[in-house]
Amino acid sequence: MTAIVKKERFIAPPVTKLGLVFPGIGHLAVGEWVNGLGLMALVGTVSWAIIAGLPRISDIWFSGPGGGIALHSVVATFSLVAVTAAIWRAAYRRAFPRVMDDEEWNSNRQIFLRTLTRHRTGMMGFYGVCVLLTFTILAPLIAPFDPLAIDVGPQLEPPGWGYLLGTDDYGRDVFSRLLFGARISMSIGFVSVAIAATMGTSIGATAAFFGGSVDRALMWFTDLLLALPRLVLLLAIVGMIQLKGAKSIFLIVAILGFTGWMGVARIVRSQVLSLKQQEFIQAAQALGFSSQRIVFKHLIPNAMAPVIVYCSLAIGATMIAEAGLSFLGLGVPPPIATWGVMVNDGRGPLRAAPWIATMPGLAIVAAVMSFNLFGDGLRDALDPKLR
């Protein structure tokens, strides 16, 4: 097959070579301002981490418990290298696009990537998520103070140069707490959605594949859990367990996961039900493949697209649910900071120090909005009808 070069892959390569010096400029030069500004924001985050973190890298590396090496900082330093490499690779790819033959150009993967990168709001969400994740990973390098240390500054100091987002009533730095809180909030979002997706996929696929009474029983249970609004269900479980003394972050993650799978199960079930009727599954059955093989190798991979979209939207919803639980004092136990806990902390001194409650809330809005925008973009890119 002759390699047919697509012209679009070569929009103004000389201009985009500028991007190798400073990623993002090349995109801006050809008018892709979302990608350009997104990359530049990432570069800004990384440079901030370098400027703020490198001078004290030896301090944070060797300040672990008992004078050992602090794991967070080691991870952060290696991530710094990885993130930097990833940014420049993206810029390099834009400057020297790979030549593709027709087959690859028209593959599902490439069509999906092309549609996604052209989806403006979706990419805004994508870069929002990226910047937040970078801040999260590089938190030990960026954060000016220990998030849990009290009296790092005067109490209730308004935002300013020394304390970027002010201090709270214990004299803790709000900005540092926000950064480290992002780690907890985001990882709770990711991990519990992963749990929910795994559970939902297996339950939905089982129900649809076996049908009959298995289907009816599983779907009745799903409907049962869906009959209560999620927050109310969460309150019931968390309240019952926590007030009797069992408080831990892992418990919260697990419970959020166990109360979030119903949507996934329904989606997977309906997908598998329609896939089951298609020829390739019948062929697999005719070939005598085991149920296991058909479910895991043929049904589930083909049912994943809407699940991915659902999950990207569910991360935001889960973060809000976690914030709500923490706000009621039923979430992550103190002194760990999450965004919800911080909003709750700010309730007392709301009038005297509005920044304590305002800033984490804005962070939640930014994060959830990014995930929602990205999810919308993914949906449009994965939906063959909208391409």
Partner 1 sequence: MIKYAIRKLILAIPLVLGVVTLIFFLVELSPGSVADKYFTPDTSPEVREMIVAKYRLDDPAYVRYLFMMRNLVFLDFGVSMATEQPVFDLVVQALPNTIILSLVTLLVAFPTGVVLGIIQGVTHGSPTDTSISVSSLAFYSMPGFWFALMLQLFVSYQFGGWLLEQVAAGNIPQFFEMFALPTSGMYNVVEYDYMGPWDQFKDRVSHLILPGCAMGVASAAGTARYMRSSLLEVIRQDYIRTARAKGLRERVVILKHALRNALLPIVTLVGLSLPYLFSGGVLTEMVFAWPGMGRLIITAIYTQDTPLIIACFFIFALLVVIGNLIADLSYALVDPRVKFD
CB of 165 to partner 1, least distance (A): 16
Give the residue with the Cβ less far from partner 1, 131 or 237.
Answer: 237
CB of 189 to partner 1, least distance (A): 13
CB of 177 to partner 1, least distance (A): 16
Give the residue with the Cβ less far from partner 1, 263 or 340.
Answer: 340
Give the residue with the Cβ less far from partner 1, 235 or 336.
Answer: 235
CB of 86 to partner 1, least distance (A): 26
Nearest to 171 by CA among 159, 157, 181: 157
Give the residue with the Cβ less far from partner 1, 94 or 230.
Answer: 230
The answer to whether residues 338 and 181 touch, using CB atoms and an 8 Å cutoff, is: yes
Token pair 């039923």 is found at: 330
Nearest to 263 by CA among 210, 309, 206, 217: 309
Give the residue with the Cβ less far from partner 1, 97 or 361.
Answer: 361
Describe the crossing of helices 71-95 and 33-53 by its angle, rounded to 10 degrees: 150
CB of 263 to partner 1, least distance (A): 14
Q: Give Cα 372 to chain centroid, integer Å.
A: 10
Within 8 A by CB and 6+ apart from 342, the residues are 174, 177, 178, 181, 356, 357, 359, 360
CB of 374 to partner 1, least distance (A): 12
CB of 341 to partner 1, least distance (A): 12
Within 8 A by CB and 6+ apart from 101, the residues are 1, 2, 3, 4
Give the residue with the Cβ less far from partner 1, 176 or 259.
Answer: 259
Alpha-carbon distance 356 to 175, whole Å? Answer: 10
Interface residues toward partner 1, by CB under 8 A:
220, 223-225, 227-232, 235-237, 239-241, 243-246, 316, 320, 323-324, 327-328, 330, 340, 343, 346-347, 350-351, 354, 357-358, 361, 364-365, 368-369, 372-373
Going from the C-alpha of 281 to that of each of 85, 265, 287, 288, the distances in angstroms are 42, 20, 10, 11
Token pair in block for residue 88: 């420049």
Give the residue with the Cβ less far from partner 1, 232 or 286.
Answer: 232
